[in-house]
A and B are shown apart, each in its own frame.
Chain A
């Protein structure tokens, strides 16, 4: 055990020795140094960590980026039909020419790279703080590394109902880009924001999103993660919810060599609601998609819901690690967790660890996890009605995914995602 810890510590030091922190102003500088110190204490992730049981973190943690061929025809345009404030990053760098004017009603948007030099800033109370809170009971070192070395990102403060969604568009042109983005969002009590994200971002993306949701506030997050076969991504969302607030997040992922999406949610105010959902389409050997969700109930009467659906074929791997933690006193909790996979052939695999940890008695918590092939009788029925095999398979696949897609409330966004999904299935 000691030897293991030592090996890990040595590997971490070796990785960090060459690390140059981006230069920034006083408060961000301090936050970065703090993160670095925390990272040294926890060590970088390794395959033997229980928390990385199903997914190998080596290529996400290494200093070098594995080259990734740029692929056309991703999901860059998925939100094109929606009126929004677009902020574009190309290979992790802000692109003013492809971005809209950041001034919008009821909302302040700044870039991390610029705001960090100002000594007094609301973001200093948020940057790295939620990430730090999210390190217990399980360490998430890749997020800490991001807090230390993120180069840019957006800082958004919402004081009313945002008139338009904010769209973070991540384009990629380089085969070896290593994007490190860190976003902080503060939603004041009663305010509301919809955040969209799309695109492959970089050959390797590391992103952290910290969201503080005030009492009675709402946050809606819809993301389409680029169909780009060789890209890698480790994304983290840390959210803290006040009383009667709402957090809803939906992610659509298609392919990519490796995608690890972590979502860490803390319900700290009574009667808060958090929903996290995802749809994954994995088609091809070596594609690994991993959803890791950790929801902590620390207040009375909160509701949480996790719905993840994965369709896998041709040797793709889908991973789900979900946990509901109900702290002592978090009575009247309603926690729900569902993870399902549809394996379209014998080469693909689904690995899951849906956990519950409960310390309060007046709660309802349930989870379900299933894995199986497409229903032969349903397929036979469709074929007997003259539906060709591929169309029938696609129809049943869409039906299987529908429950997760239903988690997207805004009908325009749901329609955009549905269209994207159908296009992907068509192209397959």
Chain B
């Protein structure tokens, strides 16, 4: 962090640490870009662009109409201003809404036909798109039995899906895992039945924009009684400049099924901020369970707050059937601005929602994130554990809603949100809404804000652990609740991310 000078440093921090801090600034390791020829839609946004995107995806008429209706509505909407984030006015006409590598003009029939440059991009990110190579670069993966290490990947590059692995093997189990554009073509009945039923096209400014211009994303359908044989994942990469990424994910877990889904995302370093507005819809039927994990590592901008991704995301899970379960886990370390509230609609009786989040904001990052737990069914349970860490000049806000409907008898919620501040130029905020409309339900909310505990630091230091490692250790302990909920593939990565984001933040 270049902006830490002598005067900012608190007593007790030695010069070596300050030097190390300066050296470590700008450690975003996914900031490189791929030099590849791209096809762009014309800059700007209008009905013709919406039609063009729909056309590129070879969509049926009903889908085009759906998009156009969303676009017409979006034009009448205003950008929400209630979040505790500040950013310059976004010029929605001054960017590209569709960018596709030229080599993807005709869809490759198999992964072998995909442009090697694209494959190399994912390999460099540690996401090999060959089925025999199982998520390399992940520490500890080799200790897990081969079966357990399989992860099917849908790789999205700017506006298009590059390919999806293990499709054949998944098909044997009856699981459909493909890009959403493919699903609209191949499984229109499923898409039409579920798309927009959890996040309606009219939901909010960014969800409506997404409904009009989403270019790709992932689609998952797990049939009744099927336990998905492997983890599914989507890796989103933004590469093109001045281009917004609008992806749409639709996950349907039919009665009694189970699926664990992972999402990762990165982008190159660019001076100009880029927009990312995604929508994720999850439908969970009776007795089904979905785990959705995200490691969000979009480019956060440089240490002066220049560039970075504006991440405006709407994610919602609808537990439609009785005893349906959903678990959101997110590690948010990237993005210049984050605006994201993965939510659970607990409609079915005895359904459960869980939300585990670590949000780390450094330098000039701003994160406004949290969840909504809407208890509609009887005996529904929800749990929220949110840990926010602010360093540098960052602002980190937890914003959440717990609502107990009059009909949601005997329901339970427990919320814990903690914030940690590192340095005196950052901010940590908590904005919880609690609405209890029946008396047989119990709601508990607690939140604390504190700095890294001096006693804990002192203890570590007295055992010979240097200050930075000690802070990382204490912070990891603070985040343990959340990290333990992550699938193994992410837990290792997440622990590293926690350390990286905090390096140079000792204060």
A359 to B396, CA, bound (A): 10
**Distance from B193 Cβ to chain A, minimum over Cβ atoms (Å):** 35
Chain B CB count within 10 A is highest, among A328, A358, A372, for A358
Closest partner residue, chain B, to A356 (CB atom): B430
Chain A CB count within 10 A is highest, among B84, B425, B429, for B429
In the assembled complex, A353 has its CB within 8 A of some CB on chain B: yes
- The listed residue (B78, B409, B433, B450) touching A364 by CB distance below 8 A is B450
Contacts A346-B438, A369-B445: A361 and B432 contacting too (C-beta < 8 A)? no
A352 to B419, CA, bound (A): 20
B434 touches A331 (CB 8 A): no
In the assembled complex, A127 has its CB within 8 A of some CB on chain B: no
B450 touches A363 (CB 8 A): yes
In the assembled complex, A355 has its CB within 8 A of some CB on chain B: yes
Closest partner residue, chain B, to A321 (CB atom): B433
In the assembled complex, A351 has its CB within 8 A of some CB on chain B: yes
**Distance from B158 Cβ to chain A, minimum over Cβ atoms (Å):** 33
In the assembled complex, A73 has its CB within 8 A of some CB on chain B: no
In the assembled complex, B422 has its CB within 8 A of some CB on chain A: yes
In the assembled complex, A345 has its CB within 8 A of some CB on chain B: yes
Q: Mark B437-454, 1 if CB is under 8 A from A, else 0.
A: 111111111111111000
B422 touches A361 (CB 8 A): yes
Contacts A361-B423, A361-B426: A351 and B436 contacting too (C-beta < 8 A)? yes
Closest partner residue, chain A, to B391 (CB atom): A361
**Distance from A364 Cβ to chain B, minimum over Cβ atoms (Å):** 5
- The listed residue (A331, A359, A372) touching B443 by CB distance below 8 A is A372
B-side contacts of A360, CB under 8 Å = 421, 424
A369 to B413, CA, bound (A): 11
A368 to B437, CA, bound (A): 19
A358 touches B432 (CB 8 A): no
A–B pairs, 29, beta carbons within 8 Å: A1-B78, A328-B424, A329-B424, A331-B424, A346-B406, A351-B434, A354-B445, A354-B447, A355-B431, A357-B429, A358-B419, A361-B421, A363-B421, A363-B451, A364-B448, A364-B450, A365-B448, A365-B449, A366-B446, A366-B449, A367-B430, A367-B446, A367-B447, A370-B442, A370-B444, A371-B441, A371-B442, A371-B443, A372-B441
Contacts A345-B439, A372-B442: A350 and B434 contacting too (C-beta < 8 A)? yes
A94 to B406, CA, bound (A): 45
A331 to B441, CA, bound (A): 38
Residues 356-372 of B at the A interface (beta carbon under 8 Å): none
A-side contacts of B112, CB under 8 Å = none
A349 touches B434 (CB 8 A): no
A358 touches B445 (CB 8 A): no
B433 touches A353 (CB 8 A): yes
A-side contacts of B139, CB under 8 Å = none
Which residues of B line the A interface, CB within 8 A? Answer: 78, 82, 84, 404, 406, 409, 419, 421-451, 507
Closest partner residue, chain B, to A325 (CB atom): B429
In the assembled complex, A184 has its CB within 8 A of some CB on chain B: no
11 new A-B pairs (CB below 8 Å) besides A331-B424, A366-B449, A369-B445? A341-B436, A349-B436, A349-B437, A350-B435, A353-B431, A356-B449, A359-B427, A368-B445, A368-B446, A368-B447, A372-B442
Closest partner residue, chain A, to B396 (CB atom): A358
Closest partner residue, chain A, to B84 (CB atom): A357
B429 touches A366 (CB 8 A): no
Contacts A352-B434, A364-B449: A370 and B424 contacting too (C-beta < 8 A)? no
Closest partner residue, chain B, to A359 (CB atom): B427
In the assembled complex, A225 has its CB within 8 A of some CB on chain B: no
B-side contacts of A426, CB under 8 Å = none
A329 to B427, CA, bound (A): 12
A-side contacts of B448, CB under 8 Å = 364-366
**Distance from B8 Cβ to chain A, minimum over Cβ atoms (Å):** 11
Residues 316-363 of A at the B interface (beta carbon under 8 Å): 328-329, 331, 341, 343-346, 348-363
A343 touches B447 (CB 8 A): no
Which residues of A line the B interface, CB within 8 A? Answer: 1, 50, 53, 328-329, 331, 341, 343-346, 348-373
- The listed residue (B431, B441, B451) touching A361 by CB distance below 8 A is B451
A-side contacts of B449, CB under 8 Å = 356, 358, 363-366
A366 to B426, CA, bound (A): 18
Closest partner residue, chain B, to A350 (CB atom): B436
B436 touches A371 (CB 8 A): yes
B434 touches A371 (CB 8 A): yes
B-side contacts of A344, CB under 8 Å = 439
Closest partner residue, chain A, to B440 (CB atom): A373
A-side contacts of B409, CB under 8 Å = 346
Contacts A341-B436, A352-B434, A361-B507: A366 and B447 contacting too (C-beta < 8 A)? yes
A328 to B421, CA, bound (A): 12
A156 to B451, CA, bound (A): 42
Ranked 3 nearest A-B pairs via Cβ: A343-B439, A361-B421, A372-B442
B-side contacts of A361, CB under 8 Å = 421-424, 426, 451, 507
Contacts A344-B439, A373-B439: A356 and B447 contacting too (C-beta < 8 A)? yes
B-side contacts of A328, CB under 8 Å = 424-425
B-side contacts of A362, CB under 8 Å = 424, 451
A423 to B422, CA, bound (A): 51
A-side contacts of B432, CB under 8 Å = 352-355, 369
Closest partner residue, chain A, to B434 (CB atom): A352
B-side contacts of A346, CB under 8 Å = 406, 409, 438-440
A39 to B442, CA, bound (A): 41
**Distance from B9 Cβ to chain A, minimum over Cβ atoms (Å):** 13
B-side contacts of A345, CB under 8 Å = 439
A153 to B212, CA, bound (A): 59
A1 to B448, CA, bound (A): 35
**Distance from B368 Cβ to chain A, minimum over Cβ atoms (Å):** 12
Contacts A329-B424, A373-B440: A50 and B82 contacting too (C-beta < 8 A)? yes
A-side contacts of B82, CB under 8 Å = 50
A-side contacts of B78, CB under 8 Å = 1
B-side contacts of A349, CB under 8 Å = 435-438
Closest partner residue, chain B, to A54 (CB atom): B435
A358 to B507, CA, bound (A): 16
Closest partner residue, chain B, to A352 (CB atom): B434
A358 touches B427 (CB 8 A): yes
B-side contacts of A369, CB under 8 Å = 432, 434, 443-446
**Distance from B28 Cβ to chain A, minimum over Cβ atoms (Å):** 24
- The listed residue (B406, B422, B430, B451) touching A355 by CB distance below 8 A is B430
Closest partner residue, chain B, to A313 (CB atom): B439
Closest partner residue, chain A, to B448 (CB atom): A366
Closest partner residue, chain A, to B421 (CB atom): A361
- The listed residue (A1, A353, A366) touching B434 by CB distance below 8 A is A353
A178 to B409, CA, bound (A): 41
A-side contacts of B443, CB under 8 Å = 369-372
B429 touches A358 (CB 8 A): yes
A349 to B446, CA, bound (A): 19
Chain A CB count within 10 A is highest, among B84, B425, B426, B437, for B437
**Distance from A216 Cβ to chain B, minimum over Cβ atoms (Å):** 28
A259 to B318, CA, bound (A): 37
**Distance from A330 Cβ to chain B, minimum over Cβ atoms (Å):** 10
A-side contacts of B438, CB under 8 Å = 343, 346, 349
B429 touches A356 (CB 8 A): yes
A-side contacts of B430, CB under 8 Å = 354-357, 367
A411 to B85, CA, bound (A): 47
Chain A CB count within 10 A is highest, among B433, B440, B449, for B449
B-side contacts of A50, CB under 8 Å = 82
A417 to B432, CA, bound (A): 32
A-side contacts of B447, CB under 8 Å = 354, 356, 366-368
B-side contacts of A353, CB under 8 Å = 431-434
A103 to B217, CA, bound (A): 78
- The listed residue (B421, B426, B431, B435) touching A351 by CB distance below 8 A is B435
Closest partner residue, chain B, to A1 (CB atom): B78
**Distance from A48 Cβ to chain B, minimum over Cβ atoms (Å):** 12
A355 touches B439 (CB 8 A): no
A368 to B448, CA, bound (A): 9
A372 to B433, CA, bound (A): 16
Chain B CB count within 10 A is highest, among A331, A361, A367, for A361
